[in-house]
Chain A
Amino acid sequence: MISTHLNDNSLIGAVHQAVREAVEHHGTSRAELIPILADVNRAIGYLPAEALNEISRLTQLPKSQVFSVATFYRMLSTEKLGRHVVQFCESAPCHVTGGRQVWEALQDALDLEPGKTSPDGKWTLVTVSCLGVCGVGPVVVIDDEIYGNVTPEQIPEILARYA
């Protein structure tokens, strides 16, 4: 579900500003839609419906197109995420080198199901297909930090680094 209401006026202001800057930087052609979405996603942390509406208005692209692209790509999120996003690679190279046990440890430590955000808004746990650092699997990425050769025992210590 795409969240439809933003009650916070300052957030709406930030969203509009991020959209304006992205559109000014990239221009309004259809080919720039993904870079615009990526910029706004980076600035706000996700793509609220307000942002998509505003992008549609400024670029003159139909809302349906903006929404369909925004929901297609993994690195764009239409939902608010936690302060820290934990990405776990669930593909074969990480799986056969002990990923399964790491995954259990991650779920237990965070007490989260995949795709969910903790009630305090600190963590979001997601599974991903591949992070491109397969030589050191199992791989966990938290925000922009890559952890390779992870063992289940390391999970609490790694998570403790994040406030």
Chain B
Amino acid sequence: MKAYRSMVLVSNDAASLERGAQEVYQRLQEEIAAFGLQDEVSLSTVGDIGRNDAVPLVIIYPEATIYGPVRPEDVHFLVEEHLYKGRIAAGLQASVRELSGRIAWLSARKGTLPAEKRVILERAGLIDPENIEDYIIHDGYTALAKALGEMTPTQVIDEIKKSGLKGRGGAGFPTGLKWGFVSQAPGEKKYVICNADESEPGTFKDRLILEGDPHSILEAMAIAGYAVGAEEGYIYVRGEYALAQKRLQTAIDQAREMGFLGKNIFGTGFNFDIIIHSGAGAYICGEETALIESIEGKRGEPRARPPYPTTNGLWNMPTLVNNVETLANVPAIIRNGADWYRSIGTPSSPGTKVYTILGNVNVTGLIEVPMGITLREVISIYAKGMKNGANFKLAQTGGSSGSIIPASLQDTPMDFDSYNKAGVSLGSGALLICDEDTCVVDLAKVLLNFFRVESCGKCTPCRIGTQRAHQILTRITEGKGQMKDIDELLALSDNLTVLSNCGLGQTAGTPLKDILTHFRAEVEAHIRLKVCPTGVCPMETRTRVREKALPA
């Protein structure tokens, strides 16, 4: 693809068009040509980014500067200042509101961070996600054409197996193997499900993939359908992700129109179509069998496994469930081959990983880097260090169901194998970086509260265990802990891990074990000395009612 020095996007959603976006676009075209910049600057459009207060917007990369509302008469000054002289056009920038995720997305898309390796997010932010032609120009649907035209289903599966791709939803199961299971399972009908119910706190990578490059997921699902012998696909999208749902639907409509979905794709006789299913707000539906139950119109309660969805999934048929990020790797692997893919990352965990960086650091956001980078590198290079020069105390990986990683493990390569050996888990790719002012008991209490609220209640160890652990932790933060609480927390942790029916309960005990393994002294200080070393915990019973009763 042609390289441009700058990229200019004009918003073209309904609100922008109403306020003259079309004219702004034309004036930009004229002014860019007038300054002789047409070979250095690309001009295209972008959909609704959630800043309707300042439309029409003009967004310029790589700086990711947002201008708006831009009037046609502002365009000359804007082009001269920003594109010709290379400085921010004063007075035209959109006001900085204290929102929103999508703005964070734009800043994360600056692409100015060093040493990023983009496979999955290669196109996100560069193409107009609501325009299929943009995707096609950037190699879109060529992998599907290659798979259908030049490869047998078995060859596709073998290529994915050879690539060493592992599931990016958190468990790290080899993707090719899963595809093989579904392909071999007997069943009159098979299904492909894209798990986009990304609900792990701190994780929003899938949302950005879906919002930035929805067609890549459709293409991957069609390839998967061809490989395993399925003609129907579902995308289960989190209810909160309205923009992602809208863009996916647009993408599906466009792909159907162009013949990339539907009957007889590329004249090969292969049929595949995709339906979006919106979640309704339940963390547990990210668990694949709960997700399947939910698509079937039931409560999202996980099934007992085995049998696994690969043989008895949706409507009791063999079903392939893959995470968004996993699928996003597929077109690139088919296009460039497994050997190319294996050249990225580590031998045991090839490829890249998308991380969300959060917490007490200077820069939060999203990065895509080769597998095997260390936490220290993430903090110093991408997060630009700890906020206020504080010390790094711990990182919490993978939303709530990951591990608490102490500073002593910050040089361990972040790939599936190295983390397994260190007894911690990579989870879904959220990196919550915490400084020394973070209390581990308080953190564990928040995590257990999450599991307590999100437990579906189907199995007892999880329903009662998370509740009980939260009670004990709360008591400790109120200065009423006893030494026997530590034993009880460890026992609860074991029970949760061993006895729970699904991944939610099985990982709910992890924070308990982690804090007692790495930060036992701090927990004991709460109990023995009735002191919270970081000063976070109240160490007394506080209720709002009591506070209000105090004289003013």
Contact = CB atoms under 8 A, between A and B. Distances in A.
A134 B204 contact: yes
A131 interface: yes
Interface in A112-138: 113, 127-137
Interface in B264-320: 277-283, 294-300
Contact of B280 (A38, A113, A128): A38
Interface stretch (B37-45, B97-105, B116-124): B97-105
A65 B299 CA distance: 9
Contacts of B299: 68-69, 72
B300 A72 contact: yes
A132 B279 CA distance: 13
B239 interface: yes
B200 interface: yes
Nearest to B284: A72
Interface in B219-237: none
A159 to B, nearest CB: 13
A79 B207 CA distance: 30
Interface residues of A, number: 47
A74 interface: yes
A132 B198 contact: yes
Contacts of A149: 98
Interface stretch (A1-9, A13-21, A87-95): A87-95
Given A31-B296, A72-B300, A92-B202, A132 B280 contact: no
Interface residues on B, range: 35 or more
Contacts of A147: 98-100
B331 to A, nearest CB: 24
Interface in A1-57: 29-35, 37-38
Given A92-B443, A96-B443, A148-B100, A132 B241 contact: yes
Contacts of B108: 135
Nearest to B457: A72
Given A30-B297, A73-B281, A134 B98 contact: no
B199 to A, nearest CB: 6
A162 B489 CA distance: 44
Interface in A66-122: 68-69, 72-76, 89-97, 107-108, 113
A136 B240 CA distance: 16
Contacts of B483: none
Contact of B400 (A69, A76, A91): A91
Nearest to B358: A93
A149 B283 CA distance: 23
Nearest to A113: B544
Given A68-B299, A135-B356, A91 B101 contact: no
A134 B297 contact: no
6 contacts: A65-B298, A75-B279, A130-B202, A130-B399, A131-B240, A133-B100
